[in-house]
Structures are given as C-alpha cells and as structure tokens.
Amino acid sequence: MARATTAHIHLDALQHNMALLKAKAPQAKLMAVVKADGYGHGLERVALALRTADAFGVASISDARRLREAGLPQQIVLLSGFDEASDLEQLRELQLDTVVHHQSQLDMLGSDAGTPLRVWLKMDTGMHRLGFDPDAFKTAFAWLKSRANVHPDIVCMSHFAASEDQQGKVTQQQMLCFSETVAECPGAHSLSNSAAVLNWPSAHGQWLRAGGALYGLSLSPEPGSAAYGLQPAMTLSTRLISVKTVKKGERVGYSGMYQCPEDMTVGVAAVGYGDGYPRHVKQETPVLLNGLRVPIIGRVSMDLMTLDLRSQPDASVGDPVVLWGKGLPIEEIALAAETISYELTCSITRRVGFTEDALFTSG
C-alpha cells in the first residue's frame, strides 16, 4: 500500500495568487519564478497552471528545457545566467533570456558571434550576492549595447535583500542606488520579488519577478500570506496509523523527549523527516487532526510523528492529519522549525505522492 503522505497542489490557488499579484501592478509584466521544481510544487504542474504568466524564471537550462517540452512558448529567464560558453548554444536553441551578472559572462559573450541573445543585466545594489557594482554596471550596459550578439532591449535588474521589511531602510537604499544608476541606461526595469510586489509599489517597474507569493508563501508569519489575500498552493497531509493509551510518567519516541503528564491517548501519524517534515520543530507544533489542532509530542522521526490526542481521545486509525496548507499556515510551521516556508515546500521528498485539483479555466 502506498504511504498516505500526500502533497495536494491547489492549482486554483496558484492562479488566484498570480491574479492578485498582477492586480497590484497592472502596468507591469509578471515573471513567475518556478526554480527548484516550482518551489517544490512541481515544475510543469505549476507552469501549466500559470501559463498566462508573461515569463518564467528558472535556475537551470535543464528546467527551461522541461518548460519548452511542456509546450510553454513565453520568455524564460535563466536567473543565475550561463556558466560556460557552450551554454550559449542552448540558450539560442531554447530561446532563453539570460541574466548577466559577472565579468566572466561578458568575456564569453565577447568571444561569441551568434544571433542576438536577450539579456537581463544585474546590478548589485546592496545584497552583495550576484551583480555588477553600479559603475561596472554602466560600463557593462554600454558594452552590451554595442554587441551584435546581444538584443538591444536589455532589462536592468537587481534583487532585494529584505523587501519583506516594510519600513526597511535597506530596500530604500537599494532602490535609490538602482534608480541613480539606471538613469543613464534606458530600458525596462525589474526589481520586485514577491514581498516587493506586495510592499513596495514604487519598485514595481516594468517586470515583476514573483516566486513565493504565487505559492501562497511568505517569509514571515506576521503579516502572513493570508493577510495579503494569498492562498496556500500546497496542503501536505497524511493519516493516523496508530492510537493508544500511554501511562502517566512513560516517555514517548526517540530519546524519550516527551514524558506523559497523565494517562493519555497518543496518536501516530505517517509522516516524518523522510518526507521532508522538519525533524527539529519545537514541541507542541500543531497539526490538524480531523480539522482541529493537536500538538506534536516527542521527536519527529523518519517516517512517523507522535501526537497528543488528549483533546481527541476518540480519534481513530485512518483519520486525516494536515501538516500545513489549508487551515494551518505553513509560516507557523516554518517559525517552529526556525526556517522559512520556502524551505519547507522545497524539502518535500520524492516518496511523497502529489495530487492536484482538476482545473476549470475559461481560456
């Protein structure tokens, strides 16, 4: 029998979330960021549900190839750019746009004489991850403009380090740095990740690049994604496979981390870190059993977790358990695991079964 652990993908939620983001910036185009297998939701599944996106953002040429094989014709942007000169051939074959963020990539373009490639030139405005410093950016922009192997419409882009902080000085400084630099570089602008689409209208520009919010994910529980009207695109669930009484003073699970304060009903759900549920969640992290919260007790193990069923002593084997998603915000679980919701969905393992809604669209 297959394990009961299932990630159900709500395709309508993906579409709802994209419409909500588009409505925040109706003048802008939207790139749906689908790297890391659509943030763990399934690359093709997500991209087909979001087929009206203006572009897709990926981290690898192999993912871009999968999107083309799925029949998606729109712009696809390689967000970390190409690594080797031989990649350029594949960019052309698959008609991909590429980010250019480093001198090594300019050197490769300098030795190339193929048909014009579409470039997104990346500026480091303060995150200090990828991108050219402002002066080097202007030089690179002018050089790329002079190249016959580069399409003349270069998109100027940068990435925010902390746009989820609505009062953040860092974001303001990054925007200022960007606008001062691009004043001399005509073309479309792209700055906004999900949190910036939601929090920083002045950063919208011509191209949004949204990932997390499409999936109903946010970087912090306050304000969580629901406060913005976003819906969770994944519900992770399983079933109860054991219910029994454990005596007062007995310990539960590995290392006996939990000691029963009284005779109590303990349930076991068929999910663990082997499915991608974080082992290190705090004691008392909730799950939904039959739609109601009950706390995890003891250590989460590879295939199983133990639950305090004192509030539902009549629960039975087979009852449904939701780990996150509809009815239980994933941000709450991420906080209990000292991580972000993005990492949780990206960590779902291959043994978890995926299901999805049938999608009824007018188009």
Token reading at 121: 């030139």
| The only residue of 193, 199, 235, 306 in contact with ligand PLP, by rule CB under 6 A | 193
Radius of gyration of the chain (CA): 23
For the segment 149-188, give every residue that binds ligand PLP (CB under 6 A).
Answer: 159
CB of residue 213 vs ligand PLP: minimum separation in angstroms?
Answer: 6
| Among 175-183, 189-197, 254-262, 322-330, the segment contacting ligand PLP (CB under 6 A) | 189-197
Decide: 236 and 324 in contact? Cβ < 8 Å: yes
**Footprint of ligand PLP on residues 213-232 (CB under 6 A)?**
213
Contact between residue 118 and residue 75 where contact means Cβ atoms under 8 Å apart: yes
**Widest CA span in the chain:** 78
What backbone phi and psi angles, to 5 degrees, belong to 141?
A: -60, -50
- The DSSP secondary structure of 169-235, one letter per residue, reads HHHHHHHHHHHHHHTTS-S-EE-B-HHHHHH-GGG--SEEEE-GGGGT--SSSTT-GGGGT---SEE
Give the separation between CA 122 and CA 253, rounded to whole angstroms.
50
| 138 catalytic residue (yes or no) | no
Of 195 and 252, which has the nearer Cβ to ligand PLP?
A: 195
Using rule CB under 6 A, residue 45 touches ligand PLP: no
Tell me, yes or no, if 254 is annotated catalytic: yes
Query: By CB under 6 A, which span of 20-28, 210-218, 236-244, 265-273 interacts with ligand PLP?
Result: 210-218
Q: Which of 22, 24, 35, 122 is catalytic?
A: 35
Asked if 33 touches ligand PLP (CB under 6 A), the answer is yes
Q: Which is nearer to ligand PLP, 31 or 333 (CB)?
A: 31
Please say which residue, 164 or 308, places its beta carbon nearer to ligand PLP: 164
Q: Candidates 181, 194, 306, 341: give the one binding ligand PLP (CB under 6 A).
A: 194
Decide if 4 contacts 352 (C-beta within 8 A): no
The only residue of 10, 24, 204, 209 in contact with ligand PLP, by rule CB under 6 A: 209
Tokens encoding 66: 């999968």
Minimum CB separation of residue 149 from ligand PLP in Å reads 23
- Nearest residue (CB) to ligand PLP, 126 versus 272: 126
Does residue 210 touch ligand PLP according to CB under 6 A?
Answer: yes
> What CA–CA distance (Å, rounded) separates 258 from 249?
9
| DSSP 3-state of 154 | coil
User: Residue 218 CB, nearest distance to ligand PLP (Å)?
Assistant: 9
| Binder of ligand PLP out of 40, 211, 232, 325 (CB under 6 A) | 211
Nearer Cβ to ligand PLP, position 159 or 299? 159
Tell the smallest beta-carbon distance from residue 35 to ligand PLP (Å).
7
Tokens at 317, concatenated: 């084997």
CB of 116 to ligand PLP, least distance (A): 22
Q: Computed from CA positions of residues 193, 40, 37, 46, in that sequence, does the dihedral angle turn out positive or negative? A: negative
Q: Identify residues 46-105 at the interface with ligand PLP (CB under 6 A).
A: 79
Residues sharing a CB contact under 8 Å with residue 208, sequence separation 6 or more, in sequence order: 21, 25, 28, 29, 30, 31, 190, 192, 197
Q: Which residues bind ligand PLP (CB under 6 A)?
A: 33, 79, 159, 193-195, 209-213
Point out the residues that are catalytic. 35, 254
